[in-house]
């Protein structure tokens, strides 16, 4: 195909994209004529976690019927993904065979986690989710109204800057009180937790089977590697992960963050060490 391309008969905007796994028999002539780009998995647990959470949509992250369980298990699943990737660095000491675990394995596992948690959530959890959505919509509406009213207030304040000082001061104080009242209301809305007191319902056997036997385990051909994979999954994707602050390594360097917005998880991940420590649980 490449040899059949004739420059004088080819559109100047035409581009041919070729993708390939590393192969010793790859034609050198194509490499010499092409612009080469490589896409390698990130190195290190921290880099892996940053890549995984960078692909998460914030609205989707906050819209689960069991939010605390989802966030904790999502972090545990992403950490498991980073660990199985890192084990490849150790060659036969990590895995007996060579495996290519990809982001697609993580993506389907996360989708299944979300689907099972939503389907298994009790009725009161779905009612709380509707209430939470209404609270978020109201908070966004209040912020938009405040932003819309800020511009006329600023223009009025500017036009009266040459007027008497007491009047200008009264307007600025009224504007400040209005802004403060909206901010206080938003803080109160954020502090309300409609999910409080609702016990999580998580089908761990089904979730662990799908990951260990299908999504990731479907690539594993060695029986001892399959046992290692299952053990790592249970350590990072089990019932203990539902506890906020659950340690994921013996030293405590890696742990499940406290539930919060997506930005708090990114901040925590960026605070992790660049180099992997010697904790056995990480390998």
Q: Note the pLDDT tens digit of each residue in 92-142.
A: 888 999 998 999 999 999 999 999 999 999 898 888 889 888 888 887 776
pTM above 0.75, yes or no: no
pLDDT of residue 195: 80
The DSSP code for 258 is: P
pLDDT of residue 140: 73
pLDDT of residue 206: 96
- Residue environment code for 184-208, b if the CB has 16+ CB neighbours within 10 A, otherwise e: eebeeeeeeebbeebebebeeeebe
DSSP, collapsed to helix, strand or coil, labels residue 225 as helix
Question: How is the chain split into domains, by residue range?
Answer: 45-122+199-282, 129-190
Rg (CA), the chain: 26
pLDDT of residue 29: 81
pLDDT of residue 260: 92
pLDDT of residue 17: 85
pLDDT of residue 135: 86
Euclidean distance between CA atoms 170 and 259, whole angstroms: 42
45-122+199-282: CATH number: 1.10.8.720
Long-range contact pairs involving 100-103 (C-beta distance under 8 Å, separation at least 24) = 100/219, 101/216, 101/219, 103/51, 103/52, 103/55
Helix-helix angle 45-54:262-270, to 10 degrees: 160
Do residues 79 and 109 touch, judged by C-beta distance below 8 A? no
Euclidean distance between CA atoms 229 and 92, whole angstroms: 14
Residue at token pair 């065979």: 97
Q: Return the C-alpha torsion angle 52, 56, 62, 66, nearest 10.
A: -50
Q: In the chain, which residues have pLDDT < 70?
A: 1-2, 41, 142-192, 276-283
Euclidean distance between CA atoms 192 and 196, whole angstroms: 9
Do residues 211 and 50 touch, judged by C-beta distance below 8 A? no
Q: Which two tokens stand for residue 213?
A: 């036997």
Q: Which two tokens stand for residue 242?
A: 């539902």
């Amino acid at each position: 195909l490449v040899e059949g391309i004739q420059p004088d008969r080819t559109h100047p905007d035409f581009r041919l994209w070729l993708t390939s796994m590393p192969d010793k028999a790859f034609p050198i002539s194509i490499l010499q004529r092409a612009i080469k780009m490589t896409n390698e998995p990130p190195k290190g647990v921290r880099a892996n976690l940053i890549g995984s959470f960078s692909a998460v949509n914030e609205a989707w992250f906050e819209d689960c019927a069991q939010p605390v369980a989802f966030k904790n298990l999502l972090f545990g699943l992403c950490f498991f993904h980073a660990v199985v990737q890192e084990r490849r660095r150790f060659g036969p000491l990590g895995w007996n065979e060579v495996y290519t675990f990809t982001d697609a394995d993580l993506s389907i596992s996360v989708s299944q986690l979300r689907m099972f948690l939503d389907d298994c959530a009790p009725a009161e959890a779905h009612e709380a989710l509707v209430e939470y959505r209404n609270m978020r919509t109201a908070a966004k509406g209040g912020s938009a109204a405040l932003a819309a009213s800020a511009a006329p207030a600023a223009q009025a304040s500017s036009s009266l800057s040459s007027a008497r000082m007491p009047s200008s001061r009264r307007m600025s104080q009224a504007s400040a009180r209005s802004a403060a009242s909206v901010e206080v209301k938003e803080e109160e809305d954020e502090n309300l937790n409609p999910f409080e007191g609702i016990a999580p319902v998580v089908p761990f056997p089904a979730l662990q089977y799908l990951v260990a036997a299908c999504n990731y385990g479907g690539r594993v051909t060695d029986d001892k590697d399959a046992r290692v994979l299952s053990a790592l999954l249970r350590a990072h994707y089990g019932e203990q992960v539902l506890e906020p602050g659950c340690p994921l390594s013996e030293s405590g360097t890696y742990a499940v963050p406290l539930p919060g917005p997506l930005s708090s998880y990114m901040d925590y991940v960026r605070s992790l060490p660049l180099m992997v420590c010697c904790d056995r649980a990480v390998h």
